[in-house]
Amino acid sequence: MRIISAIDIIEGKCVRLSKGDYDTKKVYSEDPLEMAKQFEAHGVQYLHLVDLDGAKSKHIVNHRVLESIASRTTLKIDFGGGLKTDEDLHIAFESGAAQITGGSIAVKNKEVFLGWLKTYGSEKIILGADAKDEKVAVSGWQEESDQNLVPFVKAYQKKGIKYVICTDISKDGMLEGPSFQLYKKLLDKTKKVETLITGSGVEDRELIGINLIASGGISHIDELPKLAEMGCEGTIIGKAIYENKISLKQLESYILGNGQG
């Protein structure tokens, strides 16, 4: 399971929110680049970078922060927040994003999102499926849509989506543990049997599912093996690091122990 550190940006600063509420903003660093370098120094290879100004403004805002981190570290960055147009996407990739995450756009403008998937491919486009009471939330979690989480993900899976970031909003930033039941349900419901032809021409059937990236509520290092055992492809860790619930040394040991470093 990949360990993905998280940096959320407001006004160029590294912040965290609780349950997506902008009024709970807490600044942890004035310099996101230095924070990213700390992650890199401890063996973290992946970064989830969210432009919270962009999510509110509905267009990319903090691409300079993305460019700075991408050009001065080796971190593989997935970038989200406010990506609404082809031009936003172009700016994100030109600024160094390895992947982008589309959440609100996948609900509100399906044609545009599917166009991105067709143009850039399933390795570069992540579906952001964040939910409250299993209803997909949009616009920086300021709105709840009428889309139910599991059918929403399954519909995009049929269109070719491989990577899904799912956050249970009620857990986000609360340091009360991740939503194990929700992730298990999502993993179970999206598994499908595929018939593969081996090199010898023999058919082999196996269960194929989405690459689920768990996000929200991570509070203790012991939760990571549980998420891995469930089948999560990655997990995003933010506030637990900033509040010293999980140390970078602990993460470094976990990464090295699991062959990621």
Show the tokens assigned to 154.
């399954």
pLDDT (tens place) for every residue of the chain, 261 residues total: 999 999 999 999 999 887 778 888 999 999 999 999 999 999 999 999 999 999 889 899 999 999 999 999 999 999 999 899 999 999 999 999 999 999 889 999 999 999 999 999 999 999 999 888 898 987 655 566 789 999 999 999 999 999 999 988 887 767 789 999 999 999 999 987 666 666 666 555 555 789 999 998 899 999 999 999 999 999 999 999 999 999 999 999 999 998 564
- pLDDT, position 261: 46
Q: How many CB atoms lie within 10 A of CB 85?
A: 15
DSSP 22-59: EEEEEEEES-HHHHHHHHHHTT--EEEEEEHHHHHHTS
- pLDDT, position 128: 95
Show the tokens assigned to 243.
């509040």
Residue 222 phi, psi dihedral angles, 5° rounding: -70, -15
Are 224 and 254 in contact by the 8 Å Cβ rule? The answer is yes
Catalytic residue among 8, 78, 168, 172: 8
Pairing of strands 192-197, 203-208: antiparallel
> Alpha carbon of 256 to those of 6, 45, 86, 128, 260: distances in Å?
19, 11, 38, 28, 6
What domain count does the chain have? 1
We report the CATH number of the domain holding residue 57 as 3.20.20.70
- pLDDT, position 246: 96
> Which residues, listed in sequence order, are joined to residue 163 by a DSSP beta bridge?
126, 211
Task: For residue 37, give its domain range.
Answer: 2-257
> Alpha carbon of 47 to those of 7, 126, 221, 234: distances in Å?
7, 14, 18, 11
Q: In what order do the strands lie in the sheet with 131-132?
A: 131-132, 135-138, 143-148
Catalytic residue among 51, 53, 78, 130: 130
Round the average pLDDT of the chain to a whole number and report it: 90
Q: Which helix (H) or strand (E) holds 248?
A: helix 248-257
- pLDDT, position 49: 98
Question: 174-205 pLDDT, tens per residue?
Answer: 778 999 999 999 999 998 766 666 666 655 55
In degrees, to the nearest 5, what angle opens at C-alpha 217 toward C-alphas 261 and 169?
Answer: 125
DSSP 142-198: TEEEEEEHHHHHHHHHHTT--EEEEEBTTTTTS-S---HHHHHHHHHHT-EEEEEE-
222 is catalytic: no
- pLDDT, position 204: 55
CA separation for the pair 120, 241 (Å, rounded): 32
- pLDDT, position 55: 87
- Quick one: how far is CA 149 from the chain centroid? 16
Question: 69-93 pLDDT, tens per residue?
Answer: 999 999 999 999 989 999 999 999 9
Q: How many CB atoms lie within 10 A of CB 7?
A: 26
8 is catalytic: yes
